A and B are shown apart, each in its own frame.
Chain A
Amino acid sequence: MDPSLLADPAILSELIFQGLVRGAMYALMGIGLSLIFGILGVVNFAHGEFFMLGTYAMYYVSAVLGLPFLAGIAAAAMMLFVVGVLIERGLIEPLRKRAGRDWLLDSFVLTIGLMVILQNLALLGFGSRRRGITTMIEGSLTFGDVVITYERLAILALAVVIVGLLAAYIKLTDTGKAIRATAQHPEAAQTLGIDINRIYTIAFGIGAALAGAAGALLISIFPAFPNVGYQPVLKSFAVVILGGLGNIPGAIAGGFVLGIVEAYAIFFMSAGWQSVITPLIIVLVLIFRPQGLFSAQGERP
């Protein structure tokens, strides 16, 4: 390994771009996790399985039915929104009525159960075969030595569009305002006439839809198979800790930081070690800046 490669501008920009694409996925997943944690107080372990269901939706809509990719992404997001709403109403709301003080731990364990069920039902239903789409869009851009495929460019652009739409929704619509109010102070929001149970359901649905969209968007990198959600969810929890738990802008920044760091790690080390680097970074962050890299100093995590 030649250290001078580190400074090579072509490699540098290529890795940064790769990192941005990875980061887009982590950010989408991380925003969903943060939203669900920030509003409902649920640490959602089944988030990777929402990603997995998104990849299957994309595969069946695009590769099997032959519809355009945008239709696949929209289908994945809508399907996961419905799945999220059903799970929130069917399982999480009843638990909220019962759990009380133990909410954090109990809801965590509930989503672990959900994760195992979804993963193994997928295994029973679809088998372990990987179903992918190798290329969504042909062609690439060339700047000197740097080659950027249209496909990765499209992934990045679509991720930015999705985040932008979400930000507009939360900033501008009445429901968005209600979501922000509930995140700040649920009791006060309720006193002001906000139906917080409805907000919980919508927030969980949106979080799941974001994970589904991430899965659909990245199908050329992560083909559909029952365990595909594992690495994405592990990484997105890392992103959420990097950004500060429940901090959505932090999750976006954390996503891109981790994506770029990993792109470097993969290039300069053998592939297996990247799974060691991420936990190491997290441990360092927890030691020195437990409130997350992007949260205000002094907040007690």
Chain B
Amino acid sequence: MSAAVAAAEVMSSRPLRVLKVAVLLGLLVGVPPLVDSPYITTVFIAALMFGLFGAIYDLMIGYAGLTNFGYAGFIAAGAYGSALASFHYGISPWLGLLIGGLCGGLMGFLTGVITLRLRGLYLGLTTWFVAEALRFTIANTPDYTRGVLGLAVDPFPDLLGIDFSRGNLLTHYYLLVALGALIMLAMWLLVRSKIGLAFRAIREDQLATESLGLNATKYKLINFTVACFLTGVLGSFYAHYLGILSPTPEEFGVPRTVEILTVCYVGGRGTLFGSLFAGFLLIGFQEYFRELEAWRLVMYGALLILVMLFAPKGLAGLKKYVW
């Protein structure tokens, strides 16, 4: 037995794995309050948010082979759904998390009903059209959504005596950690259930799966609706955390979708947790090199191509050396 294999076995032993998970969770929870810098906390929020969006994207593409090229539009549905509910009707942003989820989920369900019976790329293209239609509708209805002028969004009200005013970054961070934990747990349970098994069977061979009597369209629709619901919940958090929404392409258009797609592919498809690492890696990298500007997106594009050509497993390809 070579030394490398022995090392890999030690690295993947059970106690060591528990230790590694504990250390990572410790870093996730402990670093922002210990460093106590608003800047670091903002970066952690952005990294975790991108990581979570990437993980949800992975639920669709990595587990059921569903492409969503209008992903940013589903974030917009959740963000605007919740923000408008509180802006026009005074509904609490806490309830808004659910409203955002329902908006995203409904948009996902309807798009899915139309396109999931067709070949895969119809879903990718139609989500793109639907997302752009939503973005332009928002831009064209300034009376209701304030359009490109920007919609000011209420912050979360205090809950159980905890202060959620906008300046309080740490509470927002822990709220996101809690939401993220719930989202990851829900997705993890889903992909390990019988339904999750059906997802993977469809991804491997739809024809064979259908011939065994499974309704592939139904399972794809479940997958897509759940993913869009979770996206909407996070979109709602995004709206109330950020405080202002505007239907720009950078915020809710193709560039945003490409960023999340890159996080997912770099993290590794079909892993769920890989995207979290990729989120921290990519956001960290782009924060470290602030002066990148347009080069940032060039880098994202190059990463996508490199992953496609040379490392289809993404970061997950490194798993056997470190996990």
Contacts and interface: CB of A to CB of B under 8 A. Distances in A.
Interface of A: 43, 91, 94-95, 98-99, 102, 104-106, 108-110, 112-117, 119-121, 123-124, 230, 234, 237-238, 241, 245, 270, 272-273, 275-276, 278-280, 282-283, 286-287, 290, 301
A283 B129 CA distance: 8
A120 B298 contact: yes
Interface residues of B, number: 42
Given A124-B295, A287-B114, A110 B305 contact: yes
Interface string B51-78: 0000000000100010101000000000
A238 B129 contact: yes
Given A98-B312, A112-B261, A286 B118 contact: yes
B67 A108 contact: yes
B286 interface: no
Contact of A108 (B124, B136, B254, B309): B124
B292 to A, nearest CB: 10
B122 A105 contact: no
B119 interface: yes
27 contacts: A43-B124, A91-B305, A95-B308, A109-B308, A110-B305, A110-B308, A110-B309, A112-B258, A113-B302, A116-B258, A117-B297, A117-B302, A120-B301, A237-B125, A241-B122, A245-B119, A245-B121, A272-B140, A279-B132, A282-B129, A283-B126, A286-B114, A286-B118, A286-B122, A287-B114, A290-B117, A301-B119
Given A237-B125, A290-B118, A301-B118, A276 B140 contact: yes
B130 A116 contact: no
Contact of A124 (B140, B294, B308): B294
Nearest to B300: A116
B33 interface: no
Contacts of B129: 234, 237-238, 278-279, 282-283
Nearest to A122: B294
Given A245-B121, A283-B129, 17 more contacts: A91-B305, A94-B309, A98-B312, A105-B65, A113-B300, A113-B308, A114-B305, A116-B255, A116-B298, A117-B305, A234-B129, A234-B132, A275-B133, A276-B137, A283-B114, A287-B114, A301-B118
Contact of B295 (A99, A110, A120): A120
Nearest to B302: A117
A120 B133 contact: no
A58 to B, nearest CB: 23
B304 interface: yes
Contacts of B69: 112
Contact of B140 (A43, A241, A270, A283): A270
Contacts of A115: 301
B61 A105 contact: yes
A105 B67 contact: yes
Q: Is chain A's binding surface mostly helix, strand, loop or mixed?
A: helix
Contacts of A238: 129
Nearest to B259: A116
B115 interface: yes
A87 to B, nearest CB: 10
A283 B107 CA distance: 13
Given A120-B295, A276-B136, A286 B115 contact: yes
B201 interface: no
Contacts of B136: 272-273, 275-276
Contact of A91 (B65, B139, B140, B309): B309
Q: Which 8 A-B pairs have the closest CB atoms?
A: A113-B304, A116-B301, A279-B129, A117-B301, A279-B133, A113-B305, A113-B301, A275-B136
A109 B309 CA distance: 11
Contacts of B304: 109-110, 112-113, 116
Nearest to B308: A110
A270 B137 CA distance: 12
Contacts of B309: 91, 94-95, 98, 110
Contacts of A282: 126, 129
A234 B130 CA distance: 11
A104 B314 CA distance: 18
A234 B295 CA distance: 24
Contacts of A106: 308, 312
Nearest to B253: A230
Nearest to A231: B132
B237 interface: no
